[in-house]
Amino acid sequence: MGEGKFEIIDLVELQAIENAVSARYTEIEKVKSNLGLNEAENNLAASRQKNEEKNSQFHDLDVKRKKLEDSVDTHEEKIKKNESKLFSGTITDSKELLNYQEEIQMLKNNNSKLEDEILTIMEEQDMAKPGIEALKEEMTELDSIVLRIRSEMDEKLEGLKHNIEGLKKRKEDVVLRIPGDYLKKYNDLKTKKGGIAVSVIKDNFCNVCNMEIPSIETERFVESDQVYKCPLCGRMSVLYRPEMDDIKKGLEY
């Protein structure tokens, strides 16, 4: 015998505990495969990708604009130098004077075109800024959603793991009360019967195979403190008692 007084209902409790532990592990896997988290992470990744693309485009425009501005500045410096020479009075050759005038005009024309390009780029950047800001806000919101879902998942997982530890401790206490021969038979049947070794007979029905037991068989199911064998599924069977509902209710999560 184990420690404490053994009662047939202990077998039912042991089976119920193991069923509850199995259900908790199933729930853990369900929590881990949270579709909401997968969707939120995918949305966040897509938003980040868009943001990177927009920022890259904005950066390329910035680089292009600065190069054009450098060209304008270079031209302006050259214009100033040429104008200084042109009006210095040191150039007397008419052809040379004409060359300086034409070069200055060409540089001014080029600058005018470059400045138009710069203005176009600045307008593109101004139009892009609201979209970039909107993407930043979207990323912040999506990141918040991901963090919230992960936090909720961690909380659920921690609760389930804590509950499993409690169930395992309760199982140890129940096992100590069950005699070795019953425990051996229980474990053997559990291996052969898909993890379910004990069934409850209520209203002539086995709660595991869900089949009605023939009346000729139920005539021998009379003692609530006896272990029988379901003639249909071959499991250890006990007659239903109301306190079994209390055991099941006490294991709910």
SS3 205: strand
pLDDT at 87 over 70: yes
C-beta atoms surrounding 18 within 10 Å: 20
Q: How far apart are CA 121 and CA 130, in angstroms?
A: 15
Sign of the Cα torsion 184, 189, 195, 196 reads: negative
- β-sheet with 198-202: strand ranges across: 205-206, 198-202, 236-239, 228-229
The residues pairing with 205 across neighbouring beta strands, listed in sequence order, are 202, 212
Closest listed residue to residue 206, CA positions, set 187, 188, 221: 221
Closest listed residue to residue 11, CA positions, set 188, 174, 189, 250: 174
- Contacts of residue 242, Cβ cutoff 8 Å, sequence gap at least 6: none
pLDDT at 225 over 60: yes
pLDDT at 2 over 60: no
Q: What kind and span of H or E run contains 8? A: none
pLDDT digits (tens, 9 = 90+) for 38-77: 999 999 999 999 999 999 999 999 999 999 999 999 999 9
Q: How far apart are CA 50 and CA 131, in angstroms?
A: 10
242 or 222: which leads in pLDDT: 242
Q: Give pTM, 2 decimals.
A: 0.71
Which whole number is the average pLDDT over 8-26? Answer: 97
Which whole number is the average pLDDT over 200-206? Answer: 94
Closest listed residue to residue 18, CA positions, set 189, 144, 225: 189
Give me 153's structure tokens. Answer: 């998942």
Closest listed residue to residue 72, CA positions, set 128, 19, 113, 17: 113
Q: Quote the mean pLDDT of the chain.
A: 94
pLDDT digits (tens, 9 = 90+) for 122-151: 999 999 999 999 999 999 999 999 999 999
User: Which residue type is seen at 203?
Assistant: D
Strands (E), the chain: 198-202, 205-206, 228-229, 236-239
Strands (E), 33-162: none
The percentage of the chain sitting over the pLDDT mark of 70, rounded to a whole number, equals: 98
Q: How far apart are CA 183 and CA 10, in angstroms?
A: 11
pLDDT at 3 over 80: no
C-beta atoms surrounding 238 within 10 Å: 22
pLDDT at 1 over 50: no
Give me 133's structure tokens. Answer: 């800001």
Domains and CATH numbers, the chain: 31-158 (1.10.287), 179-250 (no CATH)
Q: How far apart are CA 193 and CA 237, in angstroms?
A: 13
C-beta separation of 18 from 171 below 8 A: yes
pLDDT digits (tens, 9 = 90+) for 182-198: 999 999 999 999 999 99
Q: How far apart are CA 59 and CA 44, in angstroms?
A: 22
